[in-house]
C-alpha cells in the first residue's frame, strides 16, 4: 500500500512506476492533475482510494500552531529515508512503527 500525503505529483508518479500488480494507493493529499500510462494502469490493476481533504479552518489552525512553535515538525516526522530505502520506509509505515515517514528524493 502506498499512502500519498505529500501532494507531490512526481512522488506519486514514482511510487506508481515502482508498484507491482494490484497495489493499493490511499491519497490523502490534494494533488493537481496527474497523467498515468494507460497500459501500465490497466496491466497492474491498481486500487486507488481518496479522501476529501480537511476543512480550511483546520488547516489554518495547524499552520498557526506550527508558527507559534506549539507543534514541532521534528516531533511529527518519525523517520526519514532516501529513495534507495523506499522498501524499508514502506515496511516501517505499514508496521505501525512510524507515524509520519518522509522519503527524501534530494539526498541519497
Enumerate residues 6+ apart whose C-beta is below 8 A from 101.
78, 79, 80, 81, 89, 92, 93
CB atoms within 10 A of CB 8: 15
CATH class of 1-53: alpha beta
Please tell me the least confidently modeled range out of 15-19, 71-75, 89-93. 71-75
DSSP 85: G
More confident residue, 52 or 92: 92
Residues 8-39: pLDDT tens digits? 888 888 888 888 889 888 887 777 778 888 89
Residue 81's pLDDT is what?
A: 92
Question: Where do the structural domains in the chain lie, given as residue ranges?
Answer: 1-53, 54-108
Residues 37-51: pLDDT tens digits? 889 889 999 988 887
pLDDT band (50, 70, 90) for residue 55: low
- Mean pLDDT of the 73-85 span: 84
Distance between CA 11 and CA 7 in Å, rounded?
8
Answering whether pTM is above 0.95, one says no
Amino acid at each position: 500500500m502506498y499512502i500519498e500525503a505529500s501532494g507531490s505529483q512526481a512522488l506519486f508518479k514514482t511510487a506508481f512506476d515502482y508498484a507491482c500488480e494490484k497495489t493499493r494507493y490511499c491519497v490523502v493529499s490534494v494533488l493537481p492533475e496527474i497523467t498515468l500510462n494507460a497500459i501500465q494502469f490497466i496491466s497492474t490493476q491498481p486500487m486507488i482510494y481518496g479522501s476529501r481533504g480537511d476543512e480550511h479552518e483546520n488547516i489554518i489552525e495547524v499552520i498557526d500552531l506550527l508558527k507559534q512553535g506549539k507543534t514541532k515538525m521534528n516531533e511529527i516526522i518519525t523517520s526519514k529515508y532516501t529513495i534507495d530505502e523506499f522498501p524499508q520506509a514502506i515496511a516501517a509505515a505499514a508496521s505501525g512503527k512510524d507515524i509520519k515517514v518522509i522519503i527524501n528524493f534530494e539526498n541519497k
